[in-house]
Amino acid sequence: MQQTKPLKWSLKETEAQVLAEGQEWTRQRLAQRLQAQAQEAGALFPPAPTADPPTDPAHRGRRRDRQRGLRARSPNG
């Protein structure tokens, strides 16, 4: 009878390695496609924030209040 060599990895380990390789390949391919689309569009998303303060008076002061640890203003005063 012919003796078989012991396997270096089990079937489960081999399957996990192959699946991980496939996931990495898919991730890289997705990154390439998304980068190509972004370059084609020529714009960044989300757009970079502007230095201008919000124009809506209801939004003024909220960041300052959060920095000071104050609670948000209630609509009823």
What is the three-class DSSP state of 19?
Answer: helix
Taking only the tens place, the pLDDT of each residue in 50-73 is 777 667 666 666 666 666 766 655
In this structure, what are the phi and psi dihedrals at residue 46, rounded to the nearest 5 degrees? -70, 155
Q: What is the pLDDT of residue 62?
A: 63
Distance (Å, whole) CA 23 – CA 72: 44
Place of tokens 């489960």: 12
